[in-house]
Structure 1
């Protein structure tokens, strides 16, 4: 069995990981009944399973959809109807959920990538109500992240300039580190860390290698995520 990150929970499979994340979100909503909640979404197959679950009969009537705002940790800089768009994936997975208009905050893709990064940063700051992050007032209530086979998270790839960005809230990623090699936008480390809770959703045998590298102390982007981080792993990823 691999040495695992702190605050790790091993679950049976990807479906169990998605259900555990859904239960945590439902608990968060129940414990915070009096204000809007900001959720930062991730791309990938397990998050998609989670979003489909949330939109289904078991959770649809439990969540306070009118108070939930859905943002994105990263996305490809492609039209929202493109097959590799995280916005498209989320919309399809959430089909049937009673999400009010304007509560899905997709990353803009209409202009040059730097301009769209600045526009999304402005949208985040407007929602937050300030231009500077306050450690006592997290931007997000929940951040969902994954672990790439190269150790990246969001679109913060090893060796790319975005991993060093500390001033901007949103960074352009002109060259992705993995397929598909299309430009991307990503939230930066300080913004992802501005959260009451961070969930790393890690499933599948392919994630054993980056987990092993993390255990060995390698400075992978996923190791730089700060804040109250919990890891939900399936047995296949955890090598149990």
Structure 2
């Protein structure tokens, strides 16, 4: 991939992939997901992925659940987790869990015991501790094989929103995060969890994200946007951007 003209290193913490328009970028994202899964299953017998909400992941899930991708990997060796969840029951249209299942993942032969929903609709602080325990039990010493992320127009990722307490967490893998700007609480993975993952991907598509891409990569902001802290020299983050969102970077 390093020899691909549509892939380049931005800095020691971040790589950029710009496959082209929206359709080309979605196709790249699906192939990347499947390649991560194949490598993980070959390496240690399972693929643990933390899913994201949002319109781009929804389309990725729809494509994964459709031929030919639906038979490209052994789905019985896949474990589904979530990167964040709203304070909503699993039947609520706002639920990230429901979105992923309804987008087609429920049609794949993933064992029910391999599907780990974030229970954020009540007792969110207690349930965040329980979710961390589930991660540790299921993954053991291994990090996540893939964490899927997006970027909001305010620079948040997962449910790590500007100015919130979760940005300061240095030990816990999962926290309950109060989000005053949304007048709610969310459950979210933390930087210590995300930045340890074998693969971390931030999908950024569409013209509406162009301004924030410019601010994150080409401007100085204090404090930095939450998404700016994703990626380390040991575990680089991959930004997957389409031509519309990535315009400012592609002109460099």
**Normalising to structure 2: TM-score of the pair?**
0.84
Equivalent in the alignment of 1:124? 135
The secondary structure found in structure 1 opposite 2:170 is coil
Compute the displacement of 1:23 (Å).
Answer: 0.7
Matches within 5 A, 1:156-171: 156-171=160-175
Match status 1:108 vs 2:119: yes
Rounded Cα–Cα distance in structure 1 between residues aligned with 2:22 and 2:108 = 22
Unaligned runs of 5+ residues in structure 2 are: 1-8
The secondary structure found in structure 2 opposite 1:232 is strand
Equivalent in the alignment of 1:134? none
Unaligned runs of 5+ residues in structure 1 are: 130-136
Residue correspondences, number = 228
Rounded Cα–Cα distance in structure 2 between residues aligned with 1:145 and 1:176 = 21
Rounded Cα–Cα distance in structure 1 between residues aligned with 2:45 and 2:195 = 21
Rounded Cα–Cα distance in structure 1 between residues aligned with 2:229 and 2:120 = 27
Compute the displacement of 1:138 (Å).
Answer: 4.2
Instruction: Report the RMSD for the aligned CA atoms in angstroms.
Output: 1.8
Rounded Cα–Cα distance in structure 1 between residues aligned with 2:47 and 2:186 = 25
Cα displacement string for residues 32-78 of structure 1 (whole angstroms, at most 9, x for unaligned residues)? 42511111111100001001111101111112101110111101021
Preserved contact between residue 174 and residue 190 of structure 2 (Cα < 8 Å)? yes
Match status 1:231 vs 2:239: yes
Distance 1:74 1:57, change over 3 A: same
Matches within 5 A, 1:2-17: 5=10, 6-17=14-25
Rounded Cα–Cα distance in structure 2 between residues aligned with 1:14 and 1:84 = 24
Matches within 5 A, 1:63-82: 63-82=73-92
Equivalent in the alignment of 1:23? 31
Q: Mean Cα displacement is larger for which, 26-35 or 197-206?
A: 26-35
Equivalent in the alignment of 1:186? 188
Preserved contact between residue 110 and residue 116 of structure 1 (Cα < 8 Å)? no
Distance 1:30 1:114, change over 3 A: closer
Equivalent in the alignment of 2:150? 146
Rounded Cα–Cα distance in structure 2 between residues aligned with 1:170 and 1:185 = 7
Equivalent in the alignment of 2:205? 203
Preserved contact between residue 86 and residue 121 of structure 2 (Cα < 8 Å)? no
Match status 1:217 vs 2:220: yes
